Chains A and B, each alone.
Chain A
Amino acid sequence: MAIPLSYNLRNLVVRKTTTLMTALGIALTVAVLLAVLALVNGLQTAFESSGNPAQILVLRKGSTAELNSAITREVYQDLKSVAGVARDGNEPMASLEMVTVINLPSVDSPSGMNVTLRGILPVGVKMRDALTLLAGRWFQAGQREVVVGKSIAKRYPGAQMGKKLRFGRGEWEVVGIMDGGQSSVNSEIFGDLNQISSDFNRADGLSSVLLRAADASMVPALINTLNDDRRLGVAAQTEKSYYEAQTNSAAPLQVLGIFISIIMAVGSSFAAMNTMYAAVARRAREVGTLRVLGFSQGSILFSFFVESLLLSVLGGLLGCLLVLPLNNITTGIGSFVTFSEIAFNFRVSPNIMMTGIVFALLMGALGGLFPARMAARKEILMALREI
């Protein structure tokens, strides 16, 4: 027969200082792990919601990123007429774009952070379905005007409606703020392709072409056609896979964070073990009494083990509470693909919290097993005699 759970709960309440201290130790360990996971999750969400699976990003063959790619207008003209490209009325859905990096002073770093600047045609704006304007209007062709992503507007005091940004050969007026949902567009600045490319001396050295396939099922075939065309000399992939590959920008932090939390977990389970050994020692007579009442060794083992798990779940829950305030806080991380900063929100999802609880349970299990075994193996007579 099992010893009722309320026995364990009451015991935890009686020793509330010890319980709380041990649980808090576990909570901090869980919090470190969860904070790192929330960061990585936020970054993943940003990249995963970027890019449309029906769209194809074309770079120069051999290039791994828009930043080190070069596409001429001639190639663009050829790409527009490739069979299988969707059409909007008469115009093919193909967007020639130029990507570069500019430096803007931010709140965090007065010496400036790098931000992605994208020169784009009206069709390119149209091809980003999720993109909406939060304020102002789109830039006009032939004007020195830009529209900034909402994260940029939030993080850079200079990038506000009506203000002027200095880059390239002069000043650019911010005429709008755009919202790309969760996507990385929020960390970009858009302007007229021809204006920007001439400012950067790259009128014929542009970065990439975004194509939309007429039908989602034709995407793989279209990618193969483009990649096999030696004359074009381009490398094509879906826009989505391009962004997904960038998720590993957070890999160093992720590895470091997980490593640290595992070591901390060893420390915390030692602490839990200490607490549980003390509990076993203090309740030696109780254990003896329980055995006399007919509870088996197994149920004593189980009872103490469960008590340790309860302790760790409390810690896990506290840990979740500790990281909850992080949720939706915006932070930025540099990407070696774009050589600029991408802003994203910490995301403490239910999944991540579950991971935290499981992690805490593991610590509890590790810390509770040996003390519980010791309790179960106590000789009845000896146990009753102990003070």
Chain B
Amino acid sequence: MFRYVPFILKNSLRNRRRSILTIGSIAVSLCILGVLMAIYHALFMGEATPAQALRLVCRHRVSLTQPIPIYYRDKIQRVPGVRQVMVWQWFGGVYKDARDPKNMFPRFGAEPDRLFDVRTEYKIPDDQKLAFQRERTGCVISSALADSMNFKLGDKITLVGDIFPVTLELKVVGIFEEPQNMALLYFNREYLREALGPGSPQQDMVGAFQIQAQSAEDVPQIAQAIDREFESSPFPTKTESEQAFALSFASFLGNLKLFIMAICGAVTFTILLVSGNTISMAVRERVREVGILKTLGFTPGAILGIVLGESAMISLIGGALGCVLAEGMCSMVAHSPGSVFMAALKTLTITPTVGLLCLAAALLIGVASAFIPAWGASRTTILDSLKYSG
């Protein structure tokens, strides 16, 4: 088989324009396939980092928008296997002009003495950590946010509340390093509590808790134990791993899995058509040649192999190019403003698994699409093919 490689190469170079167009067509299609597979992989099959694997999020069973009482924290703390619990309050609000997506960075109320204990992956200088714990109106921001908004230590950030009828005047007292480069702001929840004032129904309610388990094995039991504890209370909870929690946002976009699968299907089928069409055009032009090859003693099996080989080679080149394009596209997605909301997209890349899958798909498509014309060519009798006039 391998001794035919030079012949296959020559054949595919005969009509360069056609080969290039086919490779181009396959490359762009496989690029989509690659990006979609990367997204699918990142969203639904991503591995949790060691810090993530220990964390759970506990919220109201219905949705994050419905608060749960703050006294749940002490009850959760007592659940076996729980190491640390922290209040985690989404504070929507408006910073400057809400129409600029850059200004919509996520901001959360948290507990300064627990934040860096629960989120062990954040790195912050000790003096800044202390400043956050001491200053009631202080806030800490991720270095990604500091870079994109040009915030420096000591800057003032004013947030006008929408969920909460308050305005917060925050001062940047710390900048922490966060491995996924997400834009984030944490302020002291105590400040929000005071701003709401006594008598506000929102004062002793929180959006969610972040929980750190002692070991990753405990995570499923902890989730069950917490949800059982509050099952029949007026505020039932849903506790899930941090990854599952993040995924629940993706499912908000509708049936994302089906959407991705359907498009992948359509793209694959399109490549199948393009590649099949090219190879059958090539075969049709060479019927007479095939007859000559056969008179020279080439077996039908060899002819089949040569045609399949040509198609497989073109598809593979297209596939490899597609992977390169897809990697470029992934980094575009990762740097787009929309990725602020989804950590999984921030690190979107063509992993070796996805790349190999793409190439395998290309190879399979190449062989499958060429099978019928190749079979036909290997089966035509010498006389018939020599008589063929094109």
- Which A residues fall within an 8 A CB radius of B? 17-18, 21-22, 24-25, 28-29, 31-32, 35, 60, 62-64, 67-68, 70, 100-103, 108-109, 114, 169, 201, 205, 250, 252-253, 257, 260, 263-264, 266-268, 270-271, 273-275, 277-278, 282, 331-334, 336, 339-340, 387
Q: Spell out B's residues near A (CB within 8 Å).
A: 17-18, 21-22, 24-26, 28-29, 31-32, 36, 61-66, 92, 160-163, 165, 201, 234, 251-255, 259, 262-263, 266-267, 269-271, 273-274, 276-278, 280-281, 338, 390
Please provide the 5 A-B residue pairs with the shortest distance between their CB atoms, ordered closest to farther.
Answer: A334-B252, A270-B25, A333-B254, A21-B277, A267-B25
CA A336 to CA B104, docked complex, whole Å: 14
Contact of A271 among B65, B162, B277 (CB under 8 A): B277
Please give the distance in Å from A72's CB to the nearest CB on chain B.
11
Q: Is B32 a contact partner of A264 (Cβ separation < 8 A)? A: yes
Do A22 and B277 touch (CB < 8 A)?
yes
8 Å CB contact of B26 from A21, A70, A267: A267
The chain B residue sitting closest to A282, CB to CB, is: B390
Pick the contact of B263 from A101, A260, A278 — CB < 8 Å?
A260
Check A336 against B274 for contact (C-beta < 8 Å): no
5 additional A-B residue pairs with CB within 8 Å, beyond A101-B66, A275-B281, A340-B63: A32-B266, A263-B29, A263-B31, A274-B274, A336-B252
Residues of A within 8 A of B162 (CB): 62-64, 68
Contact call A273/B338, Cβ cutoff below 8 A? no
Contacts between chains A and B (CB distance < 8 A), count: 139
**Can you list 22 pairs linking A and B with CB atoms under 8 Å apart?**
A18-B277, A21-B274, A25-B270, A25-B277, A28-B269, A62-B165, A68-B65, A101-B62, A169-B234, A252-B338, A263-B28, A264-B32, A266-B28, A267-B24, A267-B26, A267-B271, A271-B25, A274-B25, A274-B274, A274-B281, A334-B254, A340-B63
Give the residues in chain B near A278, CB-CB below 8 Å: 18, 281
The answer to whether A263 touches B32, judged by C-beta atoms less than 8 angstroms apart, is yes
* Distance between Cα atoms of A331 and B160 in the complex (Å): 36
Q: Which residues of B contact A270 (CB under 8 A)?
A: 21-22, 24-25, 28, 274
Q: From A102, which residue of chain B is reached at the shortest CB distance?
A: B62
CB distance from B223 to the nearest CB of A (A): 13
Query: Do residues A274 and B18 form an inter-chain contact, with CB atoms below 8 A?
Result: yes
Q: B165, A60: Cβ atoms under 8 Å?
A: yes
A242 vs B112: C-alpha distance in the bound complex, in angstroms?
38
Asked if residues A100 and B66 are in contact (CB atoms below 8 Å), the reply is yes
